[in-house]
Structure 1
Amino acid sequence: MKNLLKFAICDAPFRFYDEIFIQREEVAMGDVLGPILAELFMQKEDEKIHNWTGIKPVLYKRYVDDIFCVFNEDQDVDMFFNYLNTQLHSNLRFTVKNERNDQLNYLDVLVIRKISEKKYETTIYRKPMDTGLYMLYESNQCRIYKLGLIRTLAIRILRICSSNEFVKIELKKLRQLMIINGYPNNVIRRAIKEAEIIVHRLMTNRLRPNPPVKMKSVFFTLPYYGRETLILGQRIKKLARQLMPTVDMKMAYRKTLTLQNVFLPLQKGLDITEKEKNLVYFIPCMDCDY
Structure 2
Amino acid sequence: MFDLPWNTEEGSSNTKWRPKENILLHSKKSYMKPKQIGNTVTSPNQPEMKLTLLSLKNWTITAVSLRAGPGKNLIRFNKAKDGKVTTEEGLHAELLREAGKSRGNCRSKIIDKRHLEAAKSLREDPDITIRRADKAAHYVLIPTEDYLNKMDTLLMDVTKFERITRNPIEEIKTKVNRIVDTINAKAEGLKLPKLVGNYGLGYCYGNVKTHKAGSSLRPIISQIPTPTYVIAKKLNELLTPFVPSRFSLSSAADFLDLLSNSDTNGVIASLDAENLFTHVPILRTINYILEEVYPENGVPKLDLLKAALKALLEICTMEAPFVCPRGNMYRQIDGVAMGSPLGVLFANFFMGMVEKCTFNCFKKPSIYARYIDDTFVKVDCKSELPPLKGILQDISGLNFTIEFSQENKLPFLDILIQQSPLYFKTSVYTKPTNPGLCLNGMSECPQRYKDSTIRAFIRSALTHSSSWSATHLEIERATQVLVNNGYPNKEINKIIKHEIDKWYLQQNAPNKEGE
TM bin (shorter chain): 0.5 to 0.7
Distance 1:52 1:158 in 2: 40
Residues 1:60 and 1:137: Cα distance change in structure 2 (over 3 Å)? same
User: What residue number does 1:24 align with?
Assistant: 333
Note if 1:45 corresponds to 2:354. yes
User: What residue number does 2:417 align with?
Assistant: 111
User: What residue number does 2:395 align with?
Assistant: 88
How far has the Cα of 1:49 moved from its partner? Answer: 2.6
Distance 2:347 2:369 in 1: 16
User: What residue number does 1:79 align with?
Assistant: 387
User: What residue number does 1:15 align with?
Assistant: 323
User: What residue number does 2:428 align with?
Assistant: 124
8 Å Cα contact 1:148-1:191 kept in structure 2: no
8 Å Cα contact 1:152-1:195 kept in structure 2: no
How far has the Cα of 1:140 moved from its partner? Answer: 2.1
Distance 2:504 2:482 in 1: 23
Matches within 5 A, 1:182-261: 182-196=486-500, 199=503
Residues 1:76 and 1:200: Cα distance change in structure 2 (over 3 Å)? same
Deviations 1:79-98 (A, max 9, x none): 2222222x2211x2111110
- SS of 1:96's equivalent in the other structure is strand
How far has the Cα of 1:206 moved from its partner? Answer: 12
Residues 1:77 and 1:27: Cα distance change in structure 2 (over 3 Å)? closer
Residues 1:194 and 1:30: Cα distance change in structure 2 (over 3 Å)? farther
TM-score of the superposed pair, with normalisation by structure 1: 0.63
8 Å Cα contact 1:13-1:21 kept in structure 2: yes
Distance 1:128 1:81 in 2: 27
How far has the Cα of 1:5 moved from its partner? Answer: 2.1
Note if 1:100 corresponds to 2:100. no
Matches within 5 A, 1:49-68: 49-53=358-362, 55-68=363-376
- RMSD of aligned Cα (Å): 2.5
Residues 1:79 and 1:181: Cα distance change in structure 2 (over 3 Å)? same
Deviations 1:143-163 (A, max 9, x none): 211111111121111111111
Distance 1:28 1:40 in 2: 15
Residues 1:197 and 1:18: Cα distance change in structure 2 (over 3 Å)? same
Residues 1:83 and 1:133: Cα distance change in structure 2 (over 3 Å)? same
Note if 1:135 corresponds to 2:439. yes
User: What residue number does 1:34 align with?
Assistant: 343
Amino acid at match of 1:130: N
- Of the structure 1 ranges 8-17 and 143-152, higher mean CA displacement relative to structure 2 is found in 8-17
Distance 2:352 2:501 in 1: 35
8 Å Cα contact 2:457-2:475 kept in structure 1: no
Distance 1:43 1:139 in 2: 43
- Of the structure 1 ranges 193-202 and 58-67, higher mean CA displacement relative to structure 2 is found in 193-202
8 Å Cα contact 2:440-2:485 kept in structure 1: yes
Residues 1:206 and 1:13: Cα distance change in structure 2 (over 3 Å)? farther
- SS of 1:76's equivalent in the other structure is helix
Distance 1:206 1:107 in 2: 31
Deviations 1:106-132 (A, max 9, x none): 1211100113xx321110111111121
- SS of 2:346's equivalent in the other structure is helix
TM-score of the superposed pair, with normalisation by structure 2: 0.37
How far has the Cα of 1:31 moved from its partner? Answer: 1.1
User: What residue number does 1:164 align with?
Assistant: 468
How far has the Cα of 1:74 moved from its partner? Answer: 7.0
Note if 1:150 corresponds to 2:457. no
How far has the Cα of 1:50 moved from its partner? Answer: 2.1
- SS of 2:401's equivalent in the other structure is coil
Q: Which runs of 5+ in 1 are unaligned?
A: 210-290
Distance 1:206 1:14 in 2: 55
How far has the Cα of 1:4 moved from its partner? Answer: 1.9
Q: Which runs of 5+ in 2 are unaligned?
A: 1-308
Deviations 1:153-179 (A, max 9, x none): 211111111111211111111112212
Residues 1:49 and 1:138: Cα distance change in structure 2 (over 3 Å)? same
Distance 1:130 1:30 in 2: 24
User: What residue number does 1:233 align with?
Assistant: none
Distance 1:28 1:20 in 2: 15
8 Å Cα contact 1:60-1:67 kept in structure 2: yes
More helix by share: 1
Distance 2:322 2:465 in 1: 45
8 Å Cα contact 1:12-1:24 kept in structure 2: no
Aligned length: 204
Residues 1:6 and 1:120: Cα distance change in structure 2 (over 3 Å)? same
